[in-house]
Structure 1
Amino acid sequence: MKDVKCAWAAGIRGTNLAVGWCLAVLLFAGLRLLGEVPGWSVAGFSLILLTLVLSAWQLTQMALTFIGRRPAAWQSWQLVWRNKGTWLLVELGLILLTLPLGLWGLSSRLLVRLSVPAAWVNFVGLHRRPVGIVVALIYVIVAGYCLLWGPRHFRRLTPQIQHPGTARQMIAALVISGGLYVSWLLVAEGLVGLNWWWGPQLSASAAQLLAWLSLSLILFGLLVAAMLSMTTLVWSWCGQPVVPQPETSRRQTGALIGVMVFAAVCISTQTIYQTPQFSQMALISHRGVDHGHGVQNTLGALRYVSRQHPTYVEMDLHETKDHQWVVLHDENLAALAGRNVTPHSLTLAQLERLTVHENGYHDRLVGWSTYLKTAERLHQPLLVEIKTTATDSKGMAARFARQYGARLAADHSAVHSLDYRVVTQVKRTVPQLRVGYITPFNWVSPASIPADFYSFQRISVSQQFIQAAHQMGAQAYLWTPDSRAAMTRMWALGADGQITNELTRLRDVANQRPAANWWAVLQNFVFSYL
Structure 2
Amino acid sequence: MREHWHELTTAWRRGLTPGLTWGWLVVVVALTGLRCLGERPGWTPSQVLGILGTLVIIAGQLATLSLTFSHPERPVTWARVWQLVWDFKGTWLGLEMALTVLMVPWGLFGLSSQLVARVWLPSRWVNLVGLHRRPVVITVAIIYLLVTTFCLIRGPRDFRRLTPGLRHPGRAGQMIRGIIVSLGLLGLWFGGSQLMVAGVKRLGFGTENLVRLATAAGIMLSWIGFQCVAILGVTTLIWCWCGAPSLPMIRRDRRHWIGVTIVAVALASGVSWQTMMARPAFANSAVISHRGVDHEQGVQNTLGALRRIHRERPTFVEMDLHETRDGRWVVLHDETLATLAKRQVTPRQLTLRQLQRLEITENGQHAHLASWSDYLRLAERFHQPLLVEIKTTSADSANMVQRFGRLYGQRLRRDGSRVHSLDYRVVATLRRQVPKLAVGYITPFNWVNPQSMPADFYSLQQISVSRQFILAAKQRGGAAYVWTPDSRAAMTRSWELGADGQITNNLRQLRQVTDQAPWRASWAILQNFIYSYI
* TM-score with structure 1 setting the length: 0.97
C-alpha separation in 1, matches of 2:445 and 2:214: 33
2:427 is aligned with 1:429: no
Distance 2:266 2:113 in 1: 23
2:384 to 359, 372, 380: 380
Are 1:86 and 2:56 counterparts?
no
Letter in 2 for 1:412: G
Q: Give structure 1 stretches of 5+ with no counterpart.
A: none
Shift of 1:228: 0.7
Q: CA deviation at 1:241?
A: 1.4
- The equivalent residue for 1:289 is 293
The alignment status of 1:478 with 2:489, answered yes or no, reads: no
Per-residue CA shift, 1:120-156, capped at 9, x if unaligned? 1111111100110111011101111121122112121
Is 1:441 the counterpart of 2:445 in the alignment? yes
2:148 aligned with 1:157: no
Q: Are 1:13 and 1:247, in contact at CA under 8 Å, matched by a contact in 2? A: no
1:318 aligns with 2:322: yes
Matched, 1:410 2:414: yes
Deviation at 1:339, TM superposition (A): 1.3
Give the 5 Å matches for 1:318-397.
Answer: 318-397=322-401
The alignment status of 1:136 with 2:165, answered yes or no, reads: no
Alignment partner, residue 196 of structure 1: 201
SS in 2 for 1:140: helix
Counterpart mapping for 1:115-126 below 5 A: 115-126=120-131
Partner of 2:34 in structure 1?
A: 31
Question: How big is the shift at 1:100?
Answer: 0.5
1:77 paired to 2:82: yes
Distance (Å, rounded) in 2 between the aligned partners of 1:398 and 1:77: 62
Determine whether 1:97 maps to 2:102.
yes
Aligned residues: 528
Whole-Å Cα distance in 2 between the matches of residues 132 and 507 of structure 1?
A: 34
Equivalent pair of 1:13/1:253 in contact (CA under 8 Å): no
> CA, structure 1 residues 131+377, in 2 after alignment: closer, same or farther (shift >3 Å)?
same
Are the equivalent residues in 1 in contact too, given 2:116–2:447 (CA < 8 A)?
yes
Structure 1 residue 512 displacement after superposition = 1.4
TM-aligned CA deviation for residue 246 of structure 1: 4.9
SS at match of 2:119: coil
> 1:381 and 1:247 mapped to 2: Cα distance?
72
Q: What amino acid maps onto 2:484 in structure 1?
A: T
Deviations 1:84-117 (A, max 9, x none): 2222221111111110011111011101111111
In the alignment, the residues of structure 2 paired with residue 91 and residue 78 of structure 1 have an alpha-carbon distance, to the nearest angstrom, of 18
What SS is found at the alignment partner of 1:130? helix
CA distance in 2, matches of 1:59, 1:305: 59
DSSP 3-state at the match of 1:307: helix
Name which of structure 1's ranges 392-401 and 27-36 shifts more when overlaid on structure 2: 392-401
1:8 counterpart = 2:18: no
| 245-254 or 182-191, larger mean C-alpha shift | 245-254
CA contact (8 A) 1:199 1:210 kept: no
Q: How does 1:240-279 map to 2 (within 5 A)?
A: 240-246=244-250, 250=254, 252-279=256-283
Deviations 1:277-304 (A, max 9, x none): 1111111000001111111110011101
Q: Say if 2:294 and 2:506, in contact at 8 Å, map to a contact too.
A: yes
Distance 1:247 1:49 in 2: 36
CA distance in 2, matches of 1:17, 1:248: 14
Give the SS at the match of 1:352: helix
Larger mean Cα displacement after TM superposition, 40-49 or 259-268: 259-268
Q: Secondary structure at the match of 1:322?
A: coil
SS of equivalent to 2:465: coil
Quote the residue 1:48 is aligned against: 51
Q: Equivalent residue of 1:104, what SS?
A: helix
CA distance in 1, matches of 2:263, 2:156: 31
Query: Equivalents in 1 of 2:121, 2:251: separation in Å?
Result: 49
Secondary structure of 2:474 counterpart: helix
Quote the offset at 1:482 in angstroms.
Answer: 0.7
Query: Following TM superposition, by how much is the alpha carbon of 1:250 offset from its aligned partner in structure 2, in angstroms?
Result: 4.6
Q: Distance in 1 between matches of 2:33 and 2:50?
A: 7
CA deviations on 1:59-93 (whole Å, 9 max, x unpaired) are: 11111111313232122111112212222221111
Match of 2:176 in 1: 171
Q: CA deviation at 1:324?
A: 0.7
CA distance in 2, matches of 1:37, 1:333: 44
Q: Distance in 2 between matches of 1:57 and 1:246?
A: 23
Tell me what 2:502 maps to. 498
C-alpha RMSD of the superposition = 1.4
SS in 2 for 1:315: strand
Once the two structures are superposed, what CA deviation does each residue of 1:452-471 show, in whole Å capped at 9, x if it has no partner?
A: 11100000000111111222
Report the alpha carbon displacement of residue 528 of structure 1 after superposing the two structures with TM.
1.1
Residue 35 of structure 2 aligns to a residue in which SS? Answer: helix
Greater shift after overlay, 248-257 or 493-502? 248-257
Q: Distance in 1 between matches of 2:52 and 2:210?
A: 40
* Secondary structure of residue in 1 paired with 2:16: helix
Deviation at 1:245, TM superposition (A): 4.5
Conserved in 2, the CA contact under 8 Å of 1:440 and 1:457?
Answer: yes
* Separation of aligned partners in 2, 1:77 and 1:298: 68
Conserved in 2, the CA contact under 8 Å of 1:383 and 1:415? yes
Change in CA separation of 1:248 and 1:424 when aligned onto 2, cut-off 3 Å? farther
Structure 1 contact 180–225 (Cα < 8 Å) conserved: yes
Rounded to whole Å, the distance in 2 between the matches of 1:516 and 1:499 is 22
Identity %: 54
Comparing 408-417 and 148-157, the one that deviates more: 148-157
- The change in CA–CA distance for 1:253 and 1:151 in structure 2 (over 3 A counts) is farther
Question: Counterpart of 2:440 in structure 1: which amino acid?
Answer: G
Contact 2:40 2:468 in 1 (8 A): no
**How big is the shift at 1:191?**
0.8
Against the structure 1 CA distance between its residues 248 and 26, is the aligned structure 2 distance closer, same or farther, given a 3 Å change threshold? farther
Asked whether the equivalents of residues 390 and 420 of structure 2 are also in contact (C-alpha less than 8 Å), the reply is yes
Report which stretch shifted further, 92-101 or 165-174: 165-174
Describe the superposition over 1:416-469 as per-residue Cα deviations: whole angstroms up to 9, x where unpaired: 000111001111111111111000100111221111111000000001111112
* Equivalent residues of 2:302, 2:367 under 8 A apart: yes
Asked whether the equivalents of residues 40 and 471 of structure 2 are also in contact (C-alpha less than 8 Å), the reply is no
Structure 1 range deviating more: 269-278 or 516-525: 269-278
Note if contact 1:65-1:244 (Cα within 8 Å) is conserved in structure 2: no
Distance in 1 (CA, whole Å) between partners of 2:155 and 2:531 is: 28
Q: Which amino acid in the other structure matches residue 49 of structure 2? A: S
Letter in 2 for 1:422: V
Cα separation, 1, equivalents of 2:80 and 2:257: 23
Shift of 1:253: 3.6
SS in 2 for 1:384: strand
Q: Quote the offset at 1:168 in angstroms.
A: 2.0
Partners of 1:299 and 1:502 in 2: how far apart? 18
Equivalent residue letter for 2:384: Q
1:316-358 per-residue CA deviation (whole Å, 9 max, x = no partner) reads 0001111111100111111111111111111111111111111
| Aligned partner of residue 313 in structure 1, secondary structure | strand
**Paired residue secondary structure (1:277):** coil
- Secondary structure, counterpart of 2:482 in structure 1: strand
Q: Give the match for residue 183 of structure 1.
A: 188
